[in-house]
Amino acid sequence: MSQEHTQQQNVNTSRTVSAAAREKTFIVIDGNSLMHRAFHAVPFYMKAPDGRSTNACFGFISMLLKLSEEYHPDAFICAFDQGVPEFRLKALESYKAQRPPTDPQLKEQFPMIQELLASMNVPIVQIPGWEGDDIIGTLGRRGEEAGYRMYLVTGDRDAFQLASAGVSIIATRVGVSDVMVYGPNEVRERYGIGPELVADYIALKGDPSDNIPGLPGVGEKTAAKLIQMYGSLEGIVAHKDELKPKMRQNLEEYENELFNGRIVATISRDVPIELDLTDLCFPCFEEAPVRAAFGTLGIRAQLPKILKLISDDEAEINRFEEYLPVPRRIVSGKEDTFLDEICEAALNGGTQPVAMVIDADGEITLFDDNHRLVVATSDGCAEFTGSHIAPVVARLLKETSVVVFDAKILLREVVPLDSSLPALIDPLALDGTRLFDVSLAAYLLESTRSSYTVEHLVERYLKCGVPPTGDALPSSWVEAAALLALRGPLEEALTEDGSLACYRDIDMPLVPVLVNMERTGVFLDVPRVRSLASQIHDQLEELTRKIYESAGVEFNIASPKQLATVLFEKLMLPTQKKTQRGYSTDASVLEDLSVLHPLPRLVLEYRELSKFKSTYLDTLPTMLADDHRLHTTFNQTITATGRLSSSDPNLQNIPVRSALGREIRTAFVAGSPAAHGESVEGEEWRFVSADYSQIELRLLADLSGDEGLIAAFTEGRDFHAATASRIFNIPIDELPPEIRNRAKAVNFGIVYGQQAFGLSESLSISFKEAQDMIDRYFQAYPQVRRYLDHLIEEAQTTGYAVTMFGRKRHVPELHASKPAQREAGKRVAMNHPMQGSAADIIKLAMIEVQRRLRDEGFRAEFILQVHDELDFNCPVSELERLEQMVVSVMEQVVSLKVPLVVSCSSGENWAEAH
């Protein structure tokens, strides 16, 4: 095929077309390319009811929806491969011969995506003996000639040769959602050549995916430079005497291969396609076949968005109307009969729940007279504002079944985050069976999501879109109605997923416990904090002096750019990692450089002290409530493992073993709760800390069933010493301390899925030594190896890892295209059963401890939960009884093959107690 012919295909001749035709936009998709991208980008665990994988279909439809939203095309067309053109095989017999067979789980999805597209009336074009890129090239040409605006969607960079005045290439980059749009100018900007020369460029540089060999010694930059200089393959051959001897020799030897490579790389735009573009349209499909096709494959989350394409705003409101309680009433006082009617119906055996939403112009705001409470029932909606909110919430929570998005947000209305303010209800007296928290249910079903929204839940579980909101339909009314409707479907989903027990027995009963803990708070010794701040300030000033002296110049220590200049330009230290902003000065780089010069170590110390001072010492005193206590918030829906997190302030991030961590913990003190009116004159109080010992290792022993591991715990020996003795074949009483420490690192590393490289880094030993230790560990505990392998295999099959209580964590990383991501997925699959089970056990212990505190009349307060530790503020007179009760509950909350062990101690502050 001559260069002139290639260029002629791109000529955009002037034509007379109607104005209506010029306004049309078509999107043509290379189906094979997009399906391959989607298969590797979307989590593998997505399945149809019959067990077939659907992840590529899901990703494909996601891209189609995104394209529809951004470009509003008049029509979609989808092309698929059906053989290879004869001219390519003649030019290159080995064309694509090296490609591995299509993954069976992807292959089975091609008929599935075609069924979905057919239900949406999207034309599918397959021509025997032609590939998808030839079809999209032909359709692009025909559409442009008809005066249409054409967009071609593909991940194949060969398609850049198709760009022209009326044809743009939407090229997928990462996955299916990250795209770039290329017209002729963008192609020239990227390669320095026009679209008409892309096939020449590919022939020169080669294309391993198609087996196009290219010219030896020529890569992307050289290929582009040669074409820019000489214009085409013909031009390069004509000027071969100007090339370097080796390149000239290669050109003479491979000239035929180069021109054959161009033939293979050239996309045909003359495929015989019997498709009339004139009458195509999108969206123009019926609801019933779409519902049937998507329902058969179990792809429910996208269905509302698909159906929304064929409905207007009024239709969306009508679709949602069945969930929207009417009439709506504005209630401005307690005398209104609406609230009485709700409570009377509930007291008389009514089973309909009440939904409550706290709203302030789209934002949740507490203790603000401008916010409002929307209450929805099957009989209507009502709105309460200002001072009426708290009494309404209090009454409905004792008397009715309530549905909320975040129970703790609602409870804050009646249980303030400050013990000096009155609480309208006792959160510990709530009947948890009558409170349904939509966000908790959503979290258990999809623990790896970064956020949970009512809109997402409505689309997924109610199979409809949220209607547009405004003055006629306020968002808070819609949300209240949605919550009311979501309870049933979410309860069904929890049951089907096997997660209902976790919701019913662990997460939901924990809510009142957390609310009570947050309200109680912890005392802070402010003078102690200020004294520490002063000390750190002095240390920072001294460090600043040393840093300037070591650097030989003053500079902004907090500026990575200025620090890099000092390290790599003034001191001439070797550069390491490079970022977009220049050479990195992160902690790992400074650690490596610290063996060469004292400055990096000084900067590390400065950063640690500065961060500690700003995060804790400067901030904590400003966060005290009127009861002189800190009130952290415990978050239940943040971590994928099920562990609680802490915020405002984050008390779980205080370093446990560092000197700085112990210093700040001395400022968290015990004290008499005088604000409660319960103090006894002269009575002393103590900070009590109860901590699980090696809970995850004990769970590994229980879940794996390894006899040696179980024996190491049941016999009451030093577990790390017992492991060291087994690994290194040394009697326990002869073990050097460093050998025990190595075994300890292996024990904890195994639980977290650590491999030899990570262990070698943490112990500063060779990779071979680390691998040898791991091998010895699995020889000593063979059932552990079999158990961990089983966890990975099971997660690869099901798509998730699960705790002993049924808490799931989906692990899409197991089927990622990148090996590093797959290895990370394996570590998650191995660790979640232990870490997640430990989190569940601690939650169960918290629920039972709080029940015992209340039922047995303790004045001691449950104040904190940090990792594997529960903390209390306790009068000395109850100290012994509290410690016995807490240890008993924590050790007996679940029955395992090995004993759970809890250490408990007390002191005047947190540091002394831990």
User: Of 602 and 816, which is predicted with more confidence?
Assistant: 602
pLDDT given at position 323: 62
For residues 22-45, give the mean pLDDT: 86
In this structure, of 286-290, 312-316, 425-429, the range with the lowest mean pLDDT score is 312-316
- Judged against a pLDDT cut of 50, whether residue 199 lies above it is answered with yes
pLDDT given at position 365: 31
For residues 244-272, give the mean pLDDT: 85
CB 6 within 8 A of CB 196: yes
For residues 743-772, give the mean pLDDT: 80
Let me know the angle formed at the C-alpha of 746 by 743 and 752, rounded to the nearest 5 degrees.
150
Q: Name the band, by pLDDT with cuts 50, 70 and 90, for residue 677.
A: very low
In this structure, of 28-32, 334-338, 874-878, the range with the lowest mean pLDDT score is 334-338
pLDDT for 138-153, tens place per residue? 999 999 999 999 999 9
Q: Name the band, by pLDDT with cuts 50, 70 and 90, for residue 16.
A: very low
pLDDT given at position 499: 94
293 CB neighbour count, 10 Å cutoff:
19
The two tokens of residue 237 are: 């051959």
Q: What gap in Å lies between CA 838 and CA 643, rounded to an integer?
A: 8
Q: Classify strands 861-866 and 869-875 as parallel, antiparallel or unpaired.
A: antiparallel
pTM given for the model: 0.76
DSSP class of 793: H
Q: Classify strands 633-635 and 629-630 as parallel, antiparallel or unpaired.
A: unpaired
Q: Name the band, by pLDDT with cuts 50, 70 and 90, for residue 547.
A: very high
Q: Name the band, by pLDDT with cuts 50, 70 and 90, for residue 2.
A: very low
pLDDT given at position 788: 92
Q: Among residues 313, 266, 649, which one has the least CA distance to residue 465?
A: 313
Residue 261: partners with Cβ closer than 8 Å, 6 or more residues away: 91, 92, 202, 203, 204, 206, 207, 212, 213, 214
Q: Name the band, by pLDDT with cuts 50, 70 and 90, for residue 736.
A: confident
Angstrom distances, CA of residue 442 to CA of 429, 633, 773: 25, 20, 42
- Judged against a pLDDT cut of 70, whether residue 680 lies above it is answered with no
pLDDT for 435-446, tens place per residue? 899 999 999 998
User: Of 351 and 820, which is predicted with more confidence?
Assistant: 820
User: Of 682 and 707, which is predicted with more confidence?
Assistant: 707
Radius of gyration (Cα) for the chain, nearest Å?
Answer: 34
pLDDT given at position 4: 33
Report the mean per-residue pLDDT for the chain: 85
DSSP conformation letters of 288-313: HHHHHHHHHTT--TTHHHHHHTT--H
- Judged against a pLDDT cut of 60, whether residue 12 lies above it is answered with no
In this structure, of 118-132, 560-574, 741-755, the range with the lowest mean pLDDT score is 741-755
pLDDT for 654-673, tens place per residue? 877 788 889 999 999 999 88
For residues 756-782, give the mean pLDDT: 82
3-class SS at 658? coil
| CB contact burial 880-909 (16+ within 10 A = b; e otherwise) | eebbebbbebbeebbebbbebbbebebbbb
Q: Work out the percent of the chain whose per-residue pLDDT is above 70.
A: 88
**Residue 478: what are its φ and ψ, rounded to 5°?**
-65, -45
In this structure, of 163-172, 228-237, 636-645, the range with the lowest mean pLDDT score is 228-237
CB 562 within 8 A of CB 569: no
pLDDT given at position 347: 58
**Three-class SS string for 529-582?**
HHHHHHHHHHHHHHHHHHHHHHHCCCCCCCCHHHHHHHHHHHCCCCCCCEECCE
Q: Name the band, by pLDDT with cuts 50, 70 and 90, for residue 727.
A: confident
Q: Classify strands 328-330 and 380-385 as parallel, antiparallel or unpaired.
A: parallel
- Judged against a pLDDT cut of 60, whether residue 676 lies above it is answered with no
Q: Name the band, by pLDDT with cuts 50, 70 and 90, for residue 203.
A: confident
pLDDT given at position 371: 66
- Judged against a pLDDT cut of 70, whether residue 320 lies above it is answered with no
Residue 323: partners with Cβ closer than 8 Å, 6 or more residues away: 462, 481, 482, 484, 485
- Judged against a pLDDT cut of 70, whether residue 362 lies above it is answered with no
Position 554, amino acid:
E
- Judged against a pLDDT cut of 60, whether residue 363 lies above it is answered with no
- Judged against a pLDDT cut of 90, whether residue 392 lies above it is answered with no
pLDDT for 523-534, tens place per residue? 999 999 999 999
Q: Among residues 445, 443, 448, which one has the least CA distance to residue 828?
A: 448
User: Is the peptide bond preceding residue 272 cis, with omega within 30 degrees of 0?
Assistant: no
User: Of 333 and 61, which is predicted with more confidence?
Assistant: 61
User: Is the peptide bond preceding residue 283 cis, with omega within 30 degrees of 0?
Assistant: yes
User: Of 334 and 371, which is predicted with more confidence?
Assistant: 371
Q: Work out the percent of the chain whose per-residue pLDDT is above 90.
A: 45
DSSP conformation letters of 469-515: -SSSS-HHHHHHHHHHHHHHHHHHHHHHHT-HHHIIIIIHHHHHHHH
- Judged against a pLDDT cut of 90, whether residue 840 lies above it is answered with yes
For residues 94-121, give the mean pLDDT: 86
- Judged against a pLDDT cut of 70, whether residue 867 lies above it is answered with yes
- Judged against a pLDDT cut of 60, whether residue 353 lies above it is answered with yes
454 CB neighbour count, 10 Å cutoff:
21
pLDDT given at position 332: 55
Q: How many residues does the chain have?
A: 914
pLDDT for 485-506, tens place per residue? 898 899 999 999 999 999 999 9
